[in-house]
Structure 1
Amino acid sequence: MNERRKHKLADTAQQIVGGFLLAGPFVVTEEVWSLAQNMTPIHSIGLVGAVMAIGYGGLYGADNDRDPQREAAIVGVPVRFISVLIVAFGSVGALAVAVTAPTVFLGDLDPAARAGVTLRAISIAAVFSVVGAVTTDSLF
């Protein structure tokens, strides 16, 4: 029988630990916010693609025991992969808001510009956050 493996809350909890662990140092680094100010939307799209590639590769390429075809899925996309992406971007966003990083680093910008730069900064830090999320998910 080809039963699909269910994604458990414990799996997401492990991803959250790793995602927050590696996101923290990048959220509070001024250089990340400076880079984000100079990025274009194309740069952000490229980084989102990199986060997706790292996430998928880390979950299913590096771990020979995992088969995306045997995992619970939503519209054909494995729930574990969706979860790791939400954790990667969400942990960075939550930390940025919690420590008021957009206000500290971008206080002189109008709210719309600040929101755009914040999204770009999130795309930068998510590259590192996804590594932590995938690693803890694979180790435990």
Structure 2
Amino acid sequence: MNLRPPRPRRPQFRLADSAQQLVGGFLLAGPFVVTEEVWSLAENMNLLQTLLTVGIVAGIGYATLYKADTARDPDVEHEVVGIPVRFVSLMLVSFGSVTILAVVFGAPETFLEDASTGKLVATTFKAISVGAVFSVVGAATADSVF
């Protein structure tokens, strides 16, 4: 039986934290990047729905990092323009992992083969925001658990 007290969580953001976020973000993003239903949903989303989706990603990320994990305090972390670096990293990982997988897998060209450049870019961003909903769950969970 281990009687040592649990190791206190480091409040400072480290490169290892980003690595953990990357693993979690890629893990849950993959299946949604290659799903035709996600790209069909994205084609039919309007601007308000897209902005709400981005807001949901940010809300899930913030809540997971700072509300579900009470040992972490956003007020003591390093900040960039008033935003905790850990949260900025989480958003970059959440949207970035989906973007990277979409490009590497050729998803926009596969699902939007006849689209104009403007529609391709807009729909790809919408699909990325949908995939980021799932990516942020994996990224924030990996950051909080490890």
Q: TM-score with structure 1 length normalisation?
A: 0.95
2:40 to 14, 23, 34: 34
Alpha-carbon deviation of 1:5? 3.5
Residues in 1 aligned to 2:62 and 2:113: alpha-carbon distance in whole angstroms? 36
Q: How large is the RMSD of aligned CA atoms in angstroms?
A: 1.0
Residue of structure 2 equivalent to 1:122: 128
Residues in 1 aligned to 2:82 and 2:42: alpha-carbon distance in whole angstroms? 33
Unaligned runs of 5+ in 2: 1-9
State the identity %.
58
Residue of structure 2 equivalent to 1:60: 66
- Cα deviation per residue 1:65-113 (whole Å; 9 max; x = unaligned)? 0000111111221000000000000000010000000000000111111
Residue of structure 2 equivalent to 1:86: 92
Residues in 2 aligned to 1:62 and 1:42: alpha-carbon distance in whole angstroms? 28
Residues in 2 aligned to 1:11 and 1:56: alpha-carbon distance in whole angstroms? 15
Unaligned runs of 5+ in 1: none
- Cα deviation per residue 1:121-140 (whole Å; 9 max; x = unaligned)? 00101000000000000010
2:116 to 93, 98, 110: 110
Larger Rg: 2
Residues in 1 aligned to 2:57 and 2:116: alpha-carbon distance in whole angstroms? 28
Alpha-carbon deviation of 1:6? 2.6
Q: Which amino acid aligns with 2:105?
A: V
Alpha-carbon deviation of 1:7? 1.3
1:11 aligns with 2:14: no
Number of residue-to-residue matches in the alignment:
137
1:69 aligns with 2:69: no
Residues in 1 aligned to 2:100 and 2:49: alpha-carbon distance in whole angstroms? 22
